Amino acid sequence: MKKLVLAALFVAVSVPAVPAAQARSLCDPWNPLNPKCWVRRGDAAVITGSGTISPGLGPVPAAQSVSFTGTATVVGTDGILATYGCSFSGTDLAGSLLEGVGTVSGACGPLAFNTCVFLRIAAEVQVVCADVTVDPGAPSAAVGAGVCVFVPTSSNPVTTYDLICAAAAVASGAG
């Protein structure tokens, strides 16, 4: 048993980590099951900004158009901290003062959130994205999720708001 543990430790220590760009160059595109083809990347972000809602949230649920602009402070698995401008737009299917459900899409710099669904109950907004691009140069299968605080900045109806979010995206795909 000691030999097996030592052998595993030797392999783990002696095999250097391969940067994503280098892993892409080692990837055989005709063999997608090759472990060298699957590069994992994750990004965590704090997103803040403001937006508009039209025609506006009131006591009675109604279809709404939503937009948001802000800033994302992002740190990735590469340890690099970056700040990006964000822009999103979408539809709240039947938004009211108490709740809303809908879809949004947009981007924060190079991070594209193509297909997202949100659920808002009072001041809490939960967002899940199924089609996220974290590395525009490489195909990937990525997902993202976030939790936000919704702060109305107008009333009767609510047509403007501030949003503060904590979010993460994870990608694993052919390099």
At 94-136, the pLDDT tens digits run: 999 999 999 999 998 888 888 999 999 999 999 999 887 766 6
User: How crowded is residue 76: how many other Cβ atoms within 10 Å of its Cβ?
Assistant: 17
User: Does some domain include residue 140?
Assistant: yes
Number of independent structural domains in the chain: 1
- Boundaries of domain holding 162: 37-174
User: How crowded is residue 113: how many other Cβ atoms within 10 Å of its Cβ?
Assistant: 24
CB 129 within 8 A of CB 148: no
Q: Tokens 């691009």 belong to which residue?
A: 133
> What pLDDT, on the 0 to 100 scale, is given for residue 31?
52
CB 62 within 8 A of CB 56: no
Token pair of 125 as six digits: 């907004």
Rounded CA separation 18/26 (Å): 10
Residue 109: HSE in the Cβ half-sphere, 13 Å Cα cutoff:
15
User: Does some domain include residue 146?
Assistant: yes
User: Does some domain include residue 96?
Assistant: yes
Cis peptide before 59 (omega within 30 of 0): no
User: Does some domain include residue 54?
Assistant: yes
CB 136 within 8 A of CB 145: no
> What pLDDT, on the 0 to 100 scale, is given for residue 135?
62
Among 170, 175, 110, 89, residue whose Cα is nearest residue 139: 175
Give tens-digit pLDDT for 131-174: 877 666 655 667 889 999 999 999 999 999 999 999 988 877 65
User: Does some domain include residue 6?
Assistant: no
Q: What is the pTM for the complete model shown?
A: 0.74
Rounded CA separation 166/168 (Å): 7
- Pairing between strand 158-174 and 99-108? unpaired
* Average pLDDT of the chain to the nearest whole number: 79
Q: Tokens 């063999």 belong to which residue?
A: 31
User: Does some domain include residue 13?
Assistant: no
Q: Tokens 């994503």 belong to which residue?
A: 20
Q: How confident is the model at residue 14 (pLDDT cuts 50, 70, 90)?
A: very low
User: Does some domain include residue 42?
Assistant: yes
User: Does some domain include residue 99?
Assistant: yes
